[in-house]
Structure 1
Amino acid sequence: MKEVIATWRDALHQVLDLYERKRGSIRIFFPLLFLFFIVLNVACYWWAIYTAFPHYMLTHEASHYVKLQIPVGLLGALFDSLSFFVTIWIIRRALASTKTSEYVFHLSLDLVIALLATLWVLFVFTFGGWLISLWESAPEQFADRGSKYTVRAVQALQDPTGRENAKNIYFGLIMGVSAALPTCLHLSLFVFSLLRRLKASLTAKESPRKPGPDSPEQN
């Protein structure tokens, strides 16, 4: 396992080096990063809408969901952009650690970011929907809207196999794609390292042993 962790470290170090060499000026990089996450969040939003709740776009509330993509894209990109730099800090701390347990612990902190992203999604839809209600001159109480999404989340946890609850869970997972990117990176690099070490081990076992100078075959 130590060899796998070492390979994992090397792969992650290469990713960090690539980022630091290609990033360039932060004044240019950050707007591009922010724009990328806007596009990603809006794309995930529409993917989730049309695969989980396509009938929403056939009702009188269709315009509401069209407008909702604006706060979803902007607020989602804000969280993802800031968490991106937190992830870079976590990676640096992980690579600087000397113990395997510390290395894994630091990378596991990205799971906390994923959890916070779930709460952020609830806030975005609550706050964004409230703003849209003001825009449409049909103001809602912020607390009431928050309670509605909280109830949906609780129901989904209590009965995840229910049809509507399963759709809400699926919707949340799609909206959390951007926040899950760091975790996916770590897992993919770990799997890559594991397969690489496994391949090296199998290759070493299958390689024929070369006879030495004192071998009977040389006599």
Structure 2
Amino acid sequence: MSEEERPPRAADAGDDADELGAAAGAFDLEDPLALAFALRELGDRDAALAAAERSAATGDRTAAAVVACWRWCTSWDPALEPDLRAGAEHFPSARGDLAELLIRTDRVDEGRAVLERGMLLGEVESMLPLGNLYADVLGDEAAAEAAYRAGAELGDAHAHHNLAVLLDERGDTDAAVEHFRLAAAGGDTLAAQALRELDEE
């Protein structure tokens, strides 16, 4: 592949009654936070946020962290920093979002430290963004590869994809194809596209 053809790094239908039934099988819908996740899976983000807020109002710290994450993802509001900090130890995605906020507000070293702690704790949610930070901002390919491999080993399809991109850039096509395949099998559409392009070469 030429530099222009290289795939980008990854950054994250049916009948509603049937889908709600499937969601009910996966979540305890008596729990308002579980209901929030079920509603979010169905695509009703407003109702999901309201359910999470109800759970947070009872003092559920995990629910409060979820609310902070969902608000951050729709607003990029730096005023959410205290809520994300409070939630980082209760919900792994809050740690990842806190790091993103720090990096966006020019505190890269602190953002890296936040993600490195998540990686040490085995939180897959920190591994892909840490790899991206090393690859795209800090220029440390070895550290990026280690972070992607850690995420891939825990089944993160996007980590497989970004590891494949890195390996392809290095010229290790066979290894790249293997990770593109694993990523595509996990639902990464960019990896599936990359495989099609490789097949056409």
TM-score of the superposed pair, with normalisation by structure 1: 0.27
Larger relative contact order, structure 1 or 2 (CA cutoff 8 Å, min sep 6): 1
Larger Rg: 1
TM-score, reference length from structure 2: 0.29
